[in-house]
């Protein structure tokens, strides 16, 4: 099985690269790599919900916010060890996912979009209305702490934490897509009627999709706080959600490769456009729009089309 061997070699190469990265890369590039890995986690989570399960969601950044604020507040104000802070952050973000996913069971299309928009607005308002807790629009700083005796500021250790988290997310996403729940996700997107007729409980699967994607976002949020050291609520608004949607639309919806490509390209892009940072949102949204119109299957779709020979036209569904 040539494909499996290729994958094994690739994973090995990545592991080695990850292993030596902190010693080889200068600080700034390591920081960038951390951001890329965090964005991969975000993209993977969003792809589960939107790419695979077909649910429109504008509040992915809100789940990230829950994770970020929970981690930071626990880190700053409690004696809980780092891993536990992260775990609670992920759990609370998942609860957020359930809060949205449960009522969203019966919603779809624009109504679903509006419900997620409502959740986003509510979290934004709550962040601003309780500045004593959240730092309001001025943001929140992460207090220094340590993990296993190493300071959390140690960039080598920070990188390994982020890399392991990302690797773990890639692993469970791959498992998901190969098993019953992953197939159910694709089924409810492609043809909810057929899925239902085959005994799949569409509402329940939607709820699971929301919860899992929120958990990913929560993890990403916690890691983001660690890496950046400061939370700015502007990171958790509609334009942030659109940015993550851009990752998967341009990278490729519903595929792990798409998530990775999208995250890599769009984390690297602002850096390539350094000096014209204000163009950030404009470039993102323009690329997003162009992709939606001209490249709906994303870069992954483009690559796949190039690879396979043109097939006889088929009648799908």
Partner 1 sequence: MTITIALQLLIAGLSVGSIYALVALALVIPFKASSILNFAQGELVTVGAYAALVLTALALPYWVVLPVTILIGFVVGLFIERAMIRRIMAAPEFTLVIATFAIGLIIKSAIRLYWQDNLFTIDNPLPFGSFRVAGVVLNPQYLWVIFCTTMLVVCLAWFFKFNPLGKAMRAVSQSQEAARLMGVSVERVLMISWGISSAIGALGGILLAPIIGINPEVGHLVLKALVAAVIGGFTSLPGAVVGGLLLGLIETYSGAFFGSTAKNILPFVVLVVFLLVRPYGLFGRAPLVRI
Partner 2 sequence: MQTKMLLQTRHLSLQFGGLKAVDDVSIDVPQGQIRGLIGPNGAGKTTLINSISGAIQCTSGEIVFDGVNIEKMAPHLISALGMSRSFQHVQIFGDRSVRDNVLIGMHRHLKIGLLAQLLGTRHARRLELEAKEKADDLLRRFELLEDAERPASLLPYGMLKRLDLARALAAKPKLLLLDEPTSGMSEEEALTAIRMLKSIVREEGMTLLVIEHNMRVMMQLADFISVLHLGRVITQGTPDQVTQDPIAIEAYLGEEVADA
> Of 26-34, 78-86, 214-222, 276-284, which segment contacts partner 1 by CB under 8 A?
276-284
Out of partner 2, partner 1, none, what residue 279 binds, judged by CB under 5 to 8 A for its kind, is partner 1
State in angstroms the smallest separation of the CB of 106 from partner 2: 11
**Which one among 38, 68, 288, 300 touches partner 1, defined by CB under 8 A?**
288
142 binds partner 1 (CB under 8 A): no
Closest contact distance (angstroms) between CB of 99 and partner 1 is: 10
Which is nearest to 49 in space by CA: 100, 11, 5?
100
Cβ proximity to partner 2: between 151 and 190 the closer is 190
Side-chain-facing half-sphere of 176: CA atoms under 13 Å: 26
Query: What's the rounded Cα separation, in Å, for the pair 79 and 73?
Result: 11
Rg (CA), the chain: 20
**Site residues (CB under 8 A) for partner 2?**
171-172, 175-176, 178-184, 186-187, 190-191, 193-202, 208, 254, 311-312, 314-317
Structure token pair of residue 293 = 């119109």
Q: Whole-angstrom Cα distance, residue 41 to residue 38?
A: 5
CB 247 → partner 1: shortest distance, Å?
12
Q: Does 278 bind partner 1 (CB under 8 A)?
A: yes
- Binding to partner 1, residues 54-113 (CB under 8 A): 54, 56, 58, 103, 106-111, 113
Q: Considering beta carbons, is residue 141 or 178 the nearer one to partner 2?
A: 178
Token pair 């792809």: residue = 47
196 part of the interface to partner 1, by CB under 8 A: no
Whether the CA torsion 187, 191, 194, 197 is positive or negative: it is positive
Q: How far is the CB of 196 from partner 1 (least distance, A)?
A: 11
Does the protein bind partner 1 through residue 269 (CB under 8 A)? no
Token pair of 166, please? 């990302």
Tell me how far, at minimum, the Cβ of 294 lies from partner 2, in Å. Answer: 20
Closest CA to 177 of 8, 52, 312, 306: 52
Asked if residues 217 and 42 have their Cβ atoms less than 8 Å apart, the reply is yes
Which of residues 154 and 196 has its CB atom nearest to partner 1 in the complex? 196
Tokens found for residue 111: 């109504």
Q: How far apart are CA 131 and CA 190, in angstroms?
A: 43
Please give the Cα distance from 172 to 275 (Å, whole number): 38
Tokens of 266: 């769009």
Under rule CB under 8 A, residue 40 binds partner 1: no
Report the largest interatomic distance among the alpha carbons of the chain, rounded to a whole angstrom.
Answer: 63
150 binds, among partner 1, partner 2, none (CB under 5 to 8 A by kind): none
78 binds, among partner 1, partner 2, none (CB under 5 to 8 A by kind): none
Instruction: State the binding partner of 306 from partner 1, partner 2, none, CB within 5 to 8 A by kind.
Output: none
Closest distance between partner 1 and the C-beta of residue 281, in Å? 4
Distances (CA, A) of 140 to 131, 146, 208, 218: 9, 18, 31, 17
Residues in Cβ contact with 123 at an 8 Å cutoff, skipping those fewer than 6 apart: 59, 62, 65, 66, 96, 236
Q: Judged by CB under 8 A, which of 32, 95, 118, 303 binds partner 1?
A: 118
- What does the binding site for partner 1 look like in residue numbers (CB under 8 A)? 50, 54, 56, 58, 103, 106-111, 113-115, 117-118, 121-122, 125, 129, 193, 238-239, 242, 245, 249, 278-282, 284-286, 288-289, 292-293, 296
């Amino acid at each position: 099985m040539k494909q499996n061997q290729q994958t094994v070699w690739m994973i090995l190469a990545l592991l080695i690269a990850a292993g030596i990265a902190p010693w080889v890369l200068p600080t700034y590039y390591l920081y960038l790599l951390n951001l890329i890995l965090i964005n991969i986690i975000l993209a993977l989570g969003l792809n589960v919900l939107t790419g695979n399960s077909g649910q429109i969601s504008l509040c992915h950044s809100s789940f990230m916010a829950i994770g970020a604020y929970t981690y930071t507040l626990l880190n700053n104000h409690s004696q809980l060890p780092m891993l536990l802070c992260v775990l609670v952050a992920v759990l609370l973000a998942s609860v957020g996912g359930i809060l949205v996913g449960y009522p969203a069971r019966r919603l779809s299309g624009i109504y679903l979009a509006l419900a997620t928009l409502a959740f986003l607005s509510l979290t934004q308002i709550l962040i601003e209305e309780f500045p004593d807790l959240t730092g309001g629009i001025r943001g929140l700083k992460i207090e220094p702490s340590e993990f296993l005796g190493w300071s959390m500021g140690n960039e080598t250790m920070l990188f390994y934490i982020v890399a392991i988290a990302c690797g773990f997310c890639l692993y469970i996403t791959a498992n998901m897509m190969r098993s019953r729940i992953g197939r159910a996700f694709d089924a409810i997107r492609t043809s909810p009627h057929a899925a239902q007729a085959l005994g799949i409980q569409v509402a329940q699967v939607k709820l699971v999709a929301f919860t899992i994607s929120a958990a990913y976002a929560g993890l990403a949020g916690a890691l983001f706080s660690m890496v950046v050291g400061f939370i700015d609520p502007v990171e958790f608004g509609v334009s942030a959600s659109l940015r993550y949607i851009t990752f998967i639309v341009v990278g490729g919806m519903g595929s792990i490769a798409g998530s990775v490509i999208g995250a890599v390209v769009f984390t690297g892009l602002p850096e390539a456009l350094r000096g014209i940072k204000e163009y950030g949102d404009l470039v993102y949204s323009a690329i997003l729009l162009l992709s939606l119109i001209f490249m709906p299957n994303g870069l992954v779709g483009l690559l796949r089309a190039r690879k396979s020979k043109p097939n006889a036209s088929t009648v799908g569904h």
